[in-house]
């Protein structure tokens, strides 16, 4: 059997309480006792039972991470940030893949509640539908990473997608493009709408007409990017650039472009969104709007763990907005107009 606090106590010649005290390094224990207990622990290779401890403290040192799919590189990166920070706080994270299905999400929430996690982080994409009511009822803190639920009071950390869309589009405008297409993300996802909004803002500011024919619906995924680009190529004329709502779609768009014997950036300039690791490959060299993926996770985790740290401090929900960053690579081509200086600045930023 595993040694318990009791065995340690007996071996060290003290009471369980004393052992417990050194375990939680209570200042008021004599050095003598501390030493004896330490020796005993080492000798027995004692390891406190987190279950028992959790049962009496009702803190488990575990948080849940609910996301649609860890296989998505973007999510994986965020998860990494969460995990690293949790480790700093001596907490563990339980992985929950929901595939975006509410049923699965609900089942996981139930499980996490049974395990008495200290809190949970939501990383799914949909802007509605998360049933956090159970968490609220049980007073389990939670934070949203990468999105917010408008009608729910909760911590959240997001990146400014409107700004990102603006940067991407504005960069294209700065390069001299006027007929700029957009391949949007899935409906019902706030990031989609925001990126489109940024696109519109940039166009408007430049006094460019927003042509509905220039926007095609996508869903963030590769295939739809490919199809959307083909539609655009078929239906519009004079298009010289496209801003895709995600890198995957931008990749799909590039394929469609190449398939027609066109070239990027010469014929069509392409800008993506996310900066997944493959965008960086020389083979691809995709200009894109980078999201601070790791930081999204790390900050979300920190917010959560801090709140767990002192539940008494009844601070209001915080909303952290992180800035995206334009990363200029090959697929958008070189600067054409007179504002070369600006362009250089951007380029500098991105390195």
Partner DNA sequence: ATGAAAGCGCTAACAG
Partner DNA sequence: CTGTTAGCGCTTTCAT
Structure tokens given for 190 = 């706030």
Minimal distance, residue 16 CB to DNA, in Å? 5
CB of 142 to DNA, least distance (A): 21
User: How many helices, marked H, and strands, marked E, lie in the chain?
Assistant: 13, 12
Residue 15 tokens, joined: 């009471």
Q: Quick one: 142 or 335, whose CB is closer to a copy of itself? A: 142
Cα–Cα distance measured from residue 123 to residue 143, given in angstroms and rounded to the nearest whole number: 9
From its phi and psi, is residue 188 left (phi > 0), alpha (psi between -120 and 50) or beta? left
Residue of 130, 243, 233, 143 whose CA lies nearest to 194: 243
Using rule CB under 8 A, residue 20 touches a copy of itself: no
Minimum distance between the CB of residue 312 and DNA, rounded to whole angstroms? 13
Query: For residues 26-51, b (16+ Cβ closer than 10 Å) or e, as one string?
Result: eeebeeebbebbeebbeebebeeeee
Contacts of 198 (CB under 8 A, 6+ apart): 161, 162, 163, 164, 165, 166, 167, 168, 169
Q: How many residues bind DNA (CB under 7 A)?
A: 28
Question: Which residues inside 128-147 make contact with a copy of itself, applying CB under 8 A?
Answer: 137-138
Using CA atoms, how far residue 3 sits from 34, 40, 54, 237, 284, in Å, is 18, 10, 18, 76, 57
Q: Which stretch binds DNA (CB under 7 A): 13-21, 79-87, 230-238, 332-340?
A: 13-21
User: In terms of CB distance, is 114 or 151 closer to a copy of itself?
Assistant: 114
Residue 1 interacts with DNA (CB under 7 A): yes or no: yes
Binding track, positions 51-80, relative to a copy of itself; x by CB under 8 A: xx-xx----xxx--x---xxx-x--xx-xx
Nearer to a copy of itself, 170 or 246 (CB): 246
Residues 206-245 that bind a copy of itself (CB under 8 A): 222, 226
- Residue 176's binding partner among a copy of itself, DNA, none (Cβ under 5 to 8 angstroms by kind) is none
Report if residue 112 touches DNA, rule: CB under 7 A.
no
95 binds, among DNA, a copy of itself, none (CB under 5 to 8 A by kind): a copy of itself
Q: Does 27 bind DNA (CB under 7 A)?
A: yes
Sorted by sequence, the CB contacts under 8 Å of residue 298 that are 6+ apart come out as 81, 82, 84, 85
Site string for DNA, 48-87 (x = CB under 7 A): xx--xx-xxx------------------------------
Two structure tokens written together for 38: 């330490």
Confirm if 232 and 173 have CB atoms less than 8 A apart.
no
Q: Which is nearer to DNA, 32 or 282 (CB)?
A: 32
User: x/- contact string, 250-279, with a copy of itself (CB under 8 A)?
Assistant: -x--xx--xx------------------x-
CB under 5 to 8 A by kind: which of DNA, a copy of itself, none does 28 bind?
Answer: DNA
Token match 């706030």: residue? 190
18, 60, 190, 288: which one binds DNA (CB under 7 A): 18
Give CA separation, 317 vs 43, 124, 307, 313, in Å: 47, 19, 10, 11
Q: What distance in Å separates the CA atoms of residue 217 and residue 228, rounded to the nearest whole number? A: 7
Computed on alpha carbons and rounded to an integer, the radius of gyration of the chain in Å comes to 26
Residues that bind a copy of itself (CB under 8 A): 2, 45, 47-52, 54-55, 60-62, 65, 69-71, 73, 76-77, 79-80, 83-84, 87, 90, 92-97, 110-116, 137-138, 222, 226, 251, 254-255, 258-259, 278, 281-284
Residues that bind DNA (CB under 7 A): 1-2, 4-6, 13-18, 20-21, 23-24, 27-30, 32-33, 48-49, 52-53, 55-57
């Amino acid at each position: 059997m595993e040694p318990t606090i009791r065995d340690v106590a007996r071996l060290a010649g003290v009471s369980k309480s004393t052992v417990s005290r050194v375990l939680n390094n209570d200042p008021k224990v004599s050095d003598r006792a501390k030493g004896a207990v330490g020796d005993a622990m080492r000798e027995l290779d004692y390891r406190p039972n987190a279950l028992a401890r959790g049962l009496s403290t009702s803190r488990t040192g575990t948080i849940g991470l609910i996301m649609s799919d860890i296989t998505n590189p973007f999510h994986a990166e965020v998860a990494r940030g969460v995990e690293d920070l949790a480790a700093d706080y001596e907490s563990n994270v339980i992985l929950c893949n929901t595939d975006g299905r509410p049923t699965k999400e609900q089942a996981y929430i139930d499980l996490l509640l049974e395990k008495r996690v200290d809190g949970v982080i939501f990383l799914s994409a949909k802007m509605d539908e998360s049933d956090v009511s159970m968490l609220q009822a049980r007073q389990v803190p939670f934070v949203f990473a990468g999105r917010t639920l408008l009608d729910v009071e909760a911590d959240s950390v997001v990146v400014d997608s409107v700004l990102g869309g603006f940067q991407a589009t504005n960069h294209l405008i700065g390069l001299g493009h006027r007929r700029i297409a957009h391949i949007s993300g899935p409906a019902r996802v706030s990031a989609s709408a925001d990126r489109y909004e940024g696109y519109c803002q940039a166009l408007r500011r430049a006094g460019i007409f927003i042509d509905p024919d220039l926007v095609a619906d996508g869903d963030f995924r590769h295939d739809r990017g490919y199809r959307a680009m083909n539609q655009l190529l078929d239906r519009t004329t004079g298009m010289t650039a496209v801003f895709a709502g995600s890198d995957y779609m931008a990749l799909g768009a590039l394929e469609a472009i190449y398939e027609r014997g066109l070239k990027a950036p010469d014929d069509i300039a392409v800008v993506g969104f996310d900066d997944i690791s493959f965008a960086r490959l020389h083979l691809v060299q995709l200009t894109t709007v980078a999201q601070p993926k790791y930081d999204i996770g790390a900050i979300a985790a920190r917010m959560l763990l801090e709140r767990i740290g002192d539940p008494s401090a009844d601070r209001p929900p915080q909303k952290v907005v992180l800035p995206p960053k334009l990363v200029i690579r090959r697929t958008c081509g070189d600067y054409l107009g007179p504002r070369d200086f600006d362009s250089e600045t951007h380029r500098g930023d991105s390195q």
